[in-house]
Amino acid sequence: MSSEGSATAAGAGRGEPVRVGLLGHGTVGSAFAKLIEDRAPAIASATGRPVEVSGVLTTSRGKFEEVLAGADVIVELMGGTDTAREYVLAALAAGKPVVTANKQLLAQHGAELFEAAGKAGVQLRFEAAVAGVVPVIRVVQESFGAVEFNKVFGIVNGTTNFILSEMASTGAPYEEVLARAQELGYAEADPTDDVNGADAAAKMAILARLAFHTPVDFDQVKFEGIESVQPDDLAYAKELGLSLKLLGVAERFEDGITVRVFPCFLYPGHPLSPIEGPFNAVMVQAPEITEVTMSGPGAGGIETASAVLGDLVSVISGDAPVHQAKNDLPILSDVESSFYLHLEVADEPGVLAQVAKMLSDSGISVKSVVQKGMGNDARLVMVVHRCSETLFMDAVAQIAELGSLRSSPRFIRVIEEEF
């Protein structure tokens, strides 16, 4: 079944371009078309074949039948569940693999679409439908294909996570923060499906189906949104040491499963509590893997397009690539770092000034200093800003020569906040 799929995707054979029929040319569709062009050499190198967009269907341009006939693979980025369903079923029936980012389509018509793909023996991939660029679909289906999960849960809607993070940090009310999210492009003009939990529910239906090998439809997921969260809930939460997230939770019990979406407080130390802003994160738990957490940007045109491209590359490759080194980049020796520098020195006047001058003469600037006396000696600990490692080592070698030093200098790299 699977090899037929790749045979179809491979079309006329290795070396020939793979023809991609693109349905939809909105934010994601156009980002995807541009990405395919920009990454053409990398795609050809990863799959062994060049890729070209052979046809585009928009509301004002193109005919579906023609786009389908001229394509080896269909990429559905038009959204909606009626026409999109019809086109995807037609593509599968014609033996063409499909890549889609359409979560409502999968959540509402998953059973039918998976059956059609199985019958035709072609791939249906949909990484971009859940958690943006975070590769949770592939990991659940492939890396952990034989794992029996206890629980799959996480933050799967970036809009609401942005709103909750902003409310917590600014104390501003929901309506005000929503308006700001819309200005910044993190929320749509009509944010209903995001803020009421429906978007997250669709994603959890898809995840639960894959994790538990059980049919789960969108209308079986109970969901609550964040519309009624008050600024003082967040203020009290701070007092109780909690952070608020909209969680999707799919869980397996002795007698069945639950799939739900609800706003929820997390204690600090929970792996999901540091996930702020428009990011997504998903955790999967099972005895043989303990727990694995994945996080990254939830959506955005280029990130979604990138997830779609990953699927397209897999459809074309049909199989895991056998790695072959293709570049031959030089391996560099000097790089820049920030450093922590620890010195034990005689507790006498002028040592700090001396060290600071040696650093500054080398063009190295000090970010923070802690000095502590202990009898006749003192410890001088500082963090310096990013500089050439060679330059820093040379400066430390000079400092090591100072008569006031009680032991060899110690240093450790520091990853700067901006990172």
Return the active site residues: 203
Distance set, CA 13 to CA 1, 9, 119, 312 (Å)? 18, 9, 23, 16
With CB under 8 A as the contact rule, the residue among 90, 292, 391, 402 that binds a copy of itself is 292
With CB under 8 A as the contact rule, the residue among 61, 189, 190, 290 that binds a copy of itself is 290
CA 120, CA 102: separation in Å to the nearest integer?
A: 20
Q: Scan residues 298-357 and list those touching a copy of itself (CB under 8 A).
A: 300, 302-303, 305-307, 309-310, 313-315, 317-333, 335, 340, 342
With CB under 8 A as the contact rule, the residue among 94, 172, 237, 391 that binds a copy of itself is 237
Residue 231 as a binder of a copy of itself (CB under 8 A): the answer is: no
| Residues in contact with 27: Cβ distance below 8 Å, sequence separation at least 6, in sequence order | 301
Residue number with CB closer to a copy of itself (183 or 319): 319
CA 99, CA 42: separation in Å to the nearest integer?
A: 19
In whole angstroms, the minimum distance from the beta carbon of 103 to a copy of itself comes to: 15
**# chain residues binding a copy of itself, by CB under 8 A:** 133
Q: Scan residues 112-151 and list those touching a copy of itself (CB under 8 A).
A: 114-115, 117-118, 121-125, 127, 133-135, 138-139, 141-148
Nearest by Cα to 155 from 217, 110, 200: 200
Region of 381 (left: φ > 0; alpha: ψ -120 to 50; beta: rest) is beta
Residue number with CB closer to a copy of itself (55 or 158): 158
Residue 398 as a binder of a copy of itself (CB under 8 A): the answer is: no
- Return the range that interacts with a copy of itself (CB under 8 A); candidates 66-74, 246-254, 352-360, 397-405: 246-254
CA 146, CA 416: separation in Å to the nearest integer?
A: 40
CA angle 299-81-104, nearest 5°?
A: 40
Nearest by Cα to 5 from 314, 322, 323, 306: 314
CA 398, CA 111: separation in Å to the nearest integer?
A: 70
- DSSP per-residue codes, 116-163: HHHHHT--EE-GGGSSTTS-HHHIIIIITTT---SEEEEE--HHHHHH
Q: How many CB atoms neighbour CB 388 within 10 A?
A: 15
Residue 264 as a binder of a copy of itself (CB under 8 A): the answer is: yes
Residue 212 as a binder of a copy of itself (CB under 8 A): the answer is: yes
Residue 263 as a binder of a copy of itself (CB under 8 A): the answer is: yes
With CB under 8 A as the contact rule, the residue among 180, 379, 385, 386 that binds a copy of itself is 379
Residue number with CB closer to a copy of itself (64 or 114): 114
CA 395, CA 292: separation in Å to the nearest integer?
A: 42
CA 158, CA 280: separation in Å to the nearest integer?
A: 6
- Return the range that interacts with a copy of itself (CB under 8 A); candidates 39-47, 56-64, 66-74, 350-358: 39-47
CA 290, CA 144: separation in Å to the nearest integer?
A: 12
Residue 291 as a binder of a copy of itself (CB under 8 A): the answer is: yes
In whole angstroms, the minimum distance from the beta carbon of 153 to a copy of itself comes to: 9
Residue number with CB closer to a copy of itself (104 or 306): 306
| Contact code string over 73-112 relative to a copy of itself, x by CB under 8 A | --------------------------------------x-
In whole angstroms, the minimum distance from the beta carbon of 60 to a copy of itself comes to: 28
Give, to the nearest 10 degrees, the angle between helix 231-240 and helix 158-170: 70
Residue 274 as a binder of a copy of itself (CB under 8 A): the answer is: yes
- Return the range that interacts with a copy of itself (CB under 8 A); candidates 54-62, 269-277, 358-366, 395-403: 269-277
Q: Scan residues 163-192 and list those touching a copy of itself (CB under 8 A).
A: none
Residue number with CB closer to a copy of itself (206 or 399): 206
- DSSP per-residue codes, 157-195: -HHHHHHHHHHHHH---HHHHHHHHHHTTSS-SS-HHHH
Residue 39 as a binder of a copy of itself (CB under 8 A): the answer is: yes
With CB under 8 A as the contact rule, the residue among 297, 351, 362, 396 that binds a copy of itself is 297
Residue 60 as a binder of a copy of itself (CB under 8 A): the answer is: no
